[in-house]
Chain A
């Protein structure tokens, strides 16, 4: 699956989302739970704002010196016998990974959850050379078994599915015979996947944080799947976005604490695993060969721009879990594996405005995301910047806005036209007005009034009221 998950237009995706009542209920419930847990975990610390400021400073320092830390990281990985490949593009990353796999004559690959491998569409490349690629995160596994249904949330990819749907998918595809109880479903997945870990040739992981001082990678999970993916197969390939790096263990610790609290309200998740190189001499489990693939794929183009702070992101999805727009339209509506506010900022940067120009408008600019972000990314300001860029530089504002602005520009540019327009507004809207509200507006107003009312233009213009008052009138 690539970053882009749909060929439908934004409006059609939203339409589907809004009418999927199960999904909307699931999303609302999950958001409430995740938000409450996050707030409790933050409150427990007492000095959350200091933690956020520290997180922000660490991320900003690292990004400002990214080349230095990537140099240090790669040197240290190599010193421990690991191989490092710097991939400018998704294609380069995929080619390298494919070559390693072909050279190993590998057939079965187990994978732990990774957004960047989704972004670069890695699975398809490997499947094309005859490999079986098995997702081991429970949520991702469910989606994969269900004919590659796209993920709808960064940390809970199968959030849009209910347990009955999952039971039916398991019954149809895996010969499952038990009930929709989550425990039974999870046990079935455990049994199915155990054998896969033990027989896989290659394990592929993402990377939450690489540590420059030691050449280590850090993996954060609750299920323990990343541990089995890296302990059992003989070859390990780790794919990381180039910005997912910290200077030392001390910064890793701070960011992991921010990540687990912000993502799920846990002090730490069940498994935080720090891996360095292939296995040591005398080790029995762990890979014999280790490859680290560092991916740019559009990230460097964000450096040095007004959007640089988006690279501070640690993928906790706290912004997704508070967003009122995500709550109503769900993850698939964003058309990208990156949904919610982070997706609305990042997807146009990585995927371009042609596909994602609507996303910055899928926001109320309420700033709940900015307030939730543990590394203080000004998300709502970046959304606004996107809108400015879209209008000013790209000329790609949504068509209705363009028409309205054109008309307004025309009208406002001439005093007489403006006068006439504002005078006529009230009577022109008369046929659409009921009790001072417009509920079925014409033309550019249609999209707005399909879902809510618009206040009718005042019968008296401000100019007339003011003139009247100047003359000594009452109102």
Chain B
């Protein structure tokens, strides 16, 4: 990758250091031990089942339908939800989990045979993918990490996982294996921080998505569905 340019840094940082009454620090600063760590006490020691209960409660507050299903019933459940939301077109990530969870027959045969058009993200097609996503009624992704407290799915972009699959369609469906549920954003942030410490490159886009898009800009009235999806459904797989 080409390294980017940095302009006018030296004088800028020198001025800051001078205001702080010292020379510029370029190395040697370590984060202190913070006095408090209240973020770690939320849902501490909860089991996956208890976390799922918290997630369900939170979904009631974020205009999001939560559906529980099993690996076995996942395809049928998705089919039903898509019908309930007015059918296709459907756009999905190109993600090995669709195969692992037995969804390829649904995407490649069942839906197309029933005239529900499906577009699986295809990097080779470039920006054409965005056109498909824009026309799609339903976008489907897996959740990489799920936050019980806030009802949030965390999506890491890259390798066939296009950003716009979760933004452009009218309805967004997140598939959530129960094992991905953690107490709150703290655990996701710690995970990413550890990855960086180990020298791994962080995804160019990490989305923390909590229900459908909304706005309260008109007289503080909540309107659900502004620029992103109008409806959101979480499908939790309880046996994975």
Contact = CB atoms under 8 A, between A and B. Distances in A.
Interface string B212-225: 11111111110101
B236 to A, nearest CB: 19
A88 B211 CA distance: 39
A221 B126 CA distance: 27
Interface stretch (B18-26, B81-89, B99-107, B110-118): B18-26
Contacts of A445: none
Contacts of A64: 20
Give the size range of B's interface with the partner: 35 or more
Interface string B73-96: 000000000000000000000000
A253 to B, nearest CB: 4
A350 interface: no
Interface stretch (A134-142, A200-208, A361-369): A134-142
Question: Which of A64, A67, A232, A278 has its CB near the most chain B CB atoms (within 10 A)?
Answer: A67
B204 A77 contact: no
Interface residues of A, number: 113
A26 interface: yes
Contact of A253 (B39, B62, B123): B39
B35 A53 contact: yes
Contact of B204 (A96, A138, A253, A280): A280
A84 B13 contact: no
B60 interface: no
Interface in B161-205: 162-164, 167-168, 184-186, 188-190, 192-193, 196, 201-205
Interface string B126-162: 1101100010000000000001011110000111101
A193 interface: yes
Interface of B: 1-9, 11-17, 19-21, 24-27, 29, 31-32, 34-39, 41-42, 58, 62, 121, 123, 125-127, 129-130, 134, 147, 149-152, 157-160, 162-164, 167-168, 184-186, 188-190, 192-193, 196, 201-221, 223, 225-229
Contact of A190 (B1, B123, B164, B226): B226
A250 B193 contact: yes
A105 interface: no
Nearest to B62: A270
A435 to B, nearest CB: 42
